[in-house]
Amino acid sequence: MPNLKVVNMQGKEVGDITLSDTIFGAEVNGPVLHAAVRAYLLNQRQGTQSTLTRAEVSGGGRKPWRQKGTGRARHGSTRNPQWTHGGVALGPKPRSYRVSINKKVRRIALFSALSSKVEAGDFIVVDAIKTEEYKTKTMVEMLKALGAEGKALVVLPEADSKVVKSCANIQGVKTALYNAINAYDILNCGKLIIALDAVKKIEEVYA
């Protein structure tokens, strides 16, 4: 079972914790992670992009010139794709990019992502993540003390508007509740900073 030290917001060691082998010591499954990340990114797409076809562009009802005898190419409308102000041939239309994956696959991907962070040493357990006021400086100092000044994911055990809003202005830092984390966000961050209570709740939910 993985054994990690627990630190406070100043980066000082205050204890240790033994993590669940099932969740934080699982074998990293590359193909499943790829499927989960692909599904997540595709599901972020709105699919509302659209272009006008020749039938939808206004005008062009009159034949520009007679069929024969002018020496020019025959045309039936000035809204054909080859004309300026014409319609778009084979352009995008609104569609759904939705991809669904099984619940078991999502769970395996989550365990793989968490385990990869633990294995890489990028999994930081903090005894408590909190602030008494809305202050970005407090969270910046915490990240600096923990050595997580780049991209970071801060996982909380419960909603805390002061922490969330204090992190909101820090570039590359994202906050999430323990029950809303996903494989993409975990892999996309440099350091995963998680509150001790959030670790316990994750183990309760997925044990």
Q: Is 11 helix (H, G, I), strand (E, B) or coil?
A: coil
Which percentage of the chain shows pLDDT scores above 70?
A: 100
pLDDT tops 80 at residue 174: yes
pLDDT tens track for 111-168: 999 999 999 999 999 999 999 999 999 999 999 999 998 899 999 999 999 999 999 9
pLDDT tens track for 8-25: 999 899 999 999 999 999
Please, are residues 8 and 127 in contact by the beta-carbon 8 Å criterion? yes
Dump the DSSP string for 59-95. ---S-SS-SSSSSSPP-S-TTSTTSTT-PPTT-----
In our burial notation (b when 16+ CB lie closer than 10 A, e otherwise), range 109-135 reads bbbbbbbbbbeeebbbbbbebebeeee
**Residue 3 confidence (pLDDT):** 86
Alpha-carbon separation of residue 42 from 88, 113, 188 (angstroms)? 25, 19, 16
Q: Which domains does the chain have, with CATH numbers?
A: 3-45+102-206 (3.40.1370.10), 48-96 (no CATH)
pLDDT tens track for 84-102: 999 999 999 999 999 999 9
What is the pTM assigned to this prediction?
Answer: 0.83
Task: Work out the angle at residue 36's Cα, subtended by the Cα atoms of residues 35 and 42, and round it to the nearest 5 degrees.
Answer: 90
* Radius of gyration from C-alpha coordinates of the chain: 27
**Residue 150 confidence (pLDDT):** 87
Q: What integer best gives the mean pLDDT of the chain?
A: 94
The span from the CA of 79 to the CA of 153, in Å, is 51
Q: Which of 17, 188, 28 is nearest to 115 (CA)?
A: 28
Confidence tier at 7 by pLDDT (50, 70, 90): very high
pLDDT tops 80 at residue 207: no
Which percentage of the chain shows pLDDT scores above 90?
A: 92
Alpha carbon dihedral 98, 104, 105, 109, in 10-degree steps, equals 120
Please, are residues 42 and 99 in contact by the beta-carbon 8 Å criterion? yes
pLDDT tops 90 at residue 187: yes
In a 10 Å sphere around its CB, with 0-12 CB exposed, 13-18 middle and 19+ buried, how is residue 190 labelled? middle
Confidence tier at 206 by pLDDT (50, 70, 90): confident
Identity at 178, one-letter amino acid code:
Y
